[in-house]
């Protein structure tokens, strides 16, 4: 199902970009599928990805993918900014959720993620809503006293 959704999403985005003639470069050479959006001196490189809870993305962890998502391919004078654009996947319901864009400094380490909002009456501006991070809550109250006792006895 994920492959079917990805193919449909990729085809629709290609069709839209080609119709609008926005100066976006489409790269469709396996295993790379991405769109390069030039903005000033930077290039936003967009890959279309299924997002999972915790803003994780679904991607096979090859060396190329790890390098891309960690932004190692960027040169000082030619900024490449990797973005993941796609949708939230609700696996338990087997359905597509909100449209998202995320930026990460590693494959499973999102820096930020925003939900793209739908606009009634056609697109005029892109609006977005921040997605709250799913941060863990850690209770260290039992560990700290034990560590202090251990340090005091040595």
Taking only the tens place, the pLDDT of each residue in 85-130 is 988 888 888 888 888 899 888 888 888 888 887 656 555 555 556 6
- Range scoring the smallest mean pLDDT among 8-22, 28-42, 61-75: 61-75
Other C-beta atoms closer than 10 Å to the C-beta of 101 total 19
Q: Is the pLDDT of residue 71 over 80?
A: no
Burial class (CB in 10 A: 0-12, 13-18, 19+), 4: exposed
Closest listed residue to residue 26, CA positions, set 40, 36, 15: 36
Element of type H or E holding 84: strand 79-90
Residues 107, 58: Cα–Cα separation, whole Å: 9
Upstream peptide bond of 31 is cis (omega within 30 degrees of 0): yes
Q: What is the pTM of this model?
A: 0.69
Q: What is the pLDDT of residue 30?
A: 82
Residue boundaries of the structural domains of the chain: 2-153
Q: Which two tokens stand for residue 135?
A: 């941060």
pLDDT interval class at 83 (50, 70, 90): very high
Instruction: Write the pLDDT tens digit of every residue in 49-59.
Output: 988 888 888 77
């Amino acid at each position: 199902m994920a492959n079917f959704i990805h193919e449909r999403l990729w085809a629709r985005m290609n069709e839209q970009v080609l119709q609008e003639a926005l100066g976006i470069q489409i790269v469709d050479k396996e295993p790379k599928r991405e769109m390069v959006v030039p903005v000033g001196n930077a290039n936003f490189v967009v890959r279309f990805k299924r997002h999972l809870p915790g803003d994780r993305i679904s991607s096979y962890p090859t060396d190329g993918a790890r390098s891309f998502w960690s932004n190692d391919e960027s040169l000082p004078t030619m900024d490449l900014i990797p973005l993941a654009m796609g949708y939230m996947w609700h696996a338990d319901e087997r359905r597509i959720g909100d449209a998202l864009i995320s930026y990460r400094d590693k494959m499973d380490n999102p820096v930020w993620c925003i939900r793209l909002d739908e606009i009634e009456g056609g697109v005029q501006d892109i609006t977005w809503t921040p997605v709250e991070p799913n941060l863990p809550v850690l209770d260290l109250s039992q560990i700290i006293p034990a560590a202090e006792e251990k340090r005091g006895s040595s």
